[in-house]
Amino acid sequence: MPAMHDRPMTCLADPGDPALKLHAVRPEGLDALLASLPPAQAAFLRQTGFAAGSGSVALLADADGLAGAVLGLGMETGPYPFGALPAALPAGTTWRLALGDHAPDAALLGYCLGAYRYDVLRAGTDRELPRLVPPEGTEAAREQAAAVWMVRDLINAPANRLGPAELADAAAGLATRFGATLRRVEGDALREAYPAIAAVGAGSARPPAVVAFHWRGSRAHESAPLVSLCGKGVCFDTGGYDLKPSSGMLRMKKDMGGAAIALGLARLIMQADLPVRLAVRIGCVENSVSGSAMRPLDVLRTRRGLTVEVGNTDAEGRLVLCDLLAEASDEQPDLLLDFATLTGAARVALGPDLPALFTRDDALAESLLAAGRAAVDPMWRLPLWDSYTSWLDSPIADLNNVSSKPFAGAIVAALFLERFVAPGTRWAHLDVYAWNDQTRPGRPEGGEAQAMRGLFAALASLYGALKP
């Protein structure tokens, strides 16, 4: 799978390459910049009305031609204004950032995020990008950008090229790259160990798989904190017998976005060699319609031993996660995170930019939210509202996979998942969109690694120092 082999970041130059000067400026620093420029360049900027608004770019010339450029940062402090540069600077040029009121790591990250395009399937798209000389000390930002590219590539891949087997291959490839202990479960073994996942995948000609791997940092002792990640990897979701309308299927190749984000976060943890033990579980499956597909009102068994009545076959993501969460929480992790493009209700509540965060742990919630704000990779907390738990009652099974009420769909889905998490587990659930609906600086239309950078910052803060 090409996505797991890092595409070369041709948007970056070698440190010693000759380069033009690139100024990044905020409105309050514009007068000082103008005073430092040659008079003709300063006059040009004034006369063209350059005001240093976020993502605005102006080219500068001298007697020999192109002499430099100025990027407006507006009031933003994160990476995204720099994402406007790859589209605005001339192809084939090379640039070096001047000192200014910006963080070098945010600049490099934003530039790389803006340079991303999913063009691997198009003929004649060898773009010659403008290139940025990486500022010193930005190696970690470069790794974050590479992880985002990987996640975006996985989500953007068409479903005919990324099915359950290919997603499992991608997860296995990542595990092998970092020397993790790998387990891949398919066929009869999967039906026994992960019966709900098997039921979701029963309708597809492409059989489901679970990939699980364990890794330990080089500085982590045997009792180091165990961080566990679970990802929903539904490579395409028709809705099953509760069939989606055609318009509802148009983006369903992204229904494995939770798995992609889990893999991206795992990559960052392993690349940074955090002193933790890491467990990752990815449920790779396709929800299709056939004579063998699960039906409405079927009753399924689960790994936890609870029975689930299928109130709606289009609520399959929680069935994938419930088996993974049961196994993961039984390992007694110090922290369990799951990721899923789970509900449209979360998007109704929060829109496309804000992943919904659910957890019972107030301190954990605040640490994750604060890290997301600092990384300009935000999340928003929604409640696990106990009064809605009874909405999942079933007359013939332990619970239903949906509520009969048309309210609070994201909350009800999170409450369903909680039933499969071992009591006392420090757990958080992320309901993500994993997609950009339109192109903005640093955020091209298509797959997106939502919450990944913020969560990595939180984990690095919580577990980055070696624990005794």
Q: Is the pLDDT of residue 74 over 50?
A: yes
Q: Left if phi > 0, otherwise alpha if psi is -120 to 50, otherwise beta: which for 59?
A: beta
The confidence band for 269, taking pLDDT boundaries of 50, 70 and 90, is very high
Assess if residue 29 is contained within a domain. yes
Assess if residue 35 is contained within a domain. yes
pLDDT of 3 reads 45
Task: Give per-residue pLDDT as tens, 86-117.
Answer: 999 999 999 999 998 899 999 999 999 999 99
Mean pLDDT of 22-37: 97
Task: Give per-residue pLDDT as tens, 239-249.
Answer: 999 999 999 99
Q: 213 and 337 share a domain?
A: yes
pLDDT of 233 reads 98
Range of the domain at 369: 143-463
Q: 126 and 179 share a domain?
A: no
- Give the residue carrying structure tokens 């990944």: 452
Q: 349 and 459 share a domain?
A: yes
Q: 324 and 373 share a domain?
A: yes
The confidence band for 7, taking pLDDT boundaries of 50, 70 and 90, is confident
Q: 316 and 218 share a domain?
A: yes
pLDDT of 1 reads 43
pLDDT of 2 reads 45
Q: 374 and 449 share a domain?
A: yes
Assess if residue 247 is contained within a domain. yes
Assess if residue 468 is contained within a domain. no
Q: 90 and 212 share a domain?
A: no
Q: 358 and 242 share a domain?
A: yes
Task: Give per-residue pLDDT as tens, 187-231.
Answer: 999 999 999 999 999 999 999 999 999 999 999 999 999 999 999
Q: 185 and 98 share a domain?
A: no
- Which of 134, 154, 188 is the last residue before a domain boundary? 134
pLDDT of 124 reads 72
Assess if residue 361 is contained within a domain. yes
Question: Against a cut of 0.95, is the pTM above it?
Answer: yes
pLDDT of 456 reads 98
Rounded to an integer, what distance in angstroms lies between the CA atom of residue 262 and that of residue 138?
23
Assess if residue 381 is contained within a domain. yes
Average pLDDT value over all residues in the chain: 96
Annotated catalytic residue, options 142, 161, 191, 244: 244
Residue 162 contacts residue 253 (beta carbons within 8 Å): yes
Strand order in the sheet with 20-25: 57-62, 65-72, 20-25, 94-97, 131-132
- Which of 134, 157, 185 is the last residue before a domain boundary? 134
Percent with pLDDT over 70 in the chain: 98
Q: 128 and 210 share a domain?
A: no
Q: 118 and 162 share a domain?
A: no
pLDDT of 468 reads 47
Assess if residue 18 is contained within a domain. yes
Q: 112 and 155 share a domain?
A: no
Task: Give per-residue pLDDT as tens, 406-460.
Answer: 999 999 999 999 999 999 999 999 999 999 999 999 999 999 999 999 999 999 9
| 254 among known catalytic residues | no
Assess if residue 28 is contained within a domain. yes
Annotated catalytic residue, options 152, 267, 277, 318: 318
Task: Give per-residue pLDDT as tens, 119-165.
Answer: 889 887 677 899 999 999 999 999 999 999 999 999 999 999 999 99
- Which of 79, 107, 134 is the last residue before a domain boundary? 134
Q: What is the CATH number of the domain that holds 280?
A: 3.40.630.10
pLDDT of 5 reads 55
| 244 among known catalytic residues | yes
- Torsion of Cα atoms, 443 then 76 then 359 then 201, to 10°: 0
The domain tally of the chain equals: 2
Q: What is the CATH number of the domain that holds 67?
A: 3.40.220.10
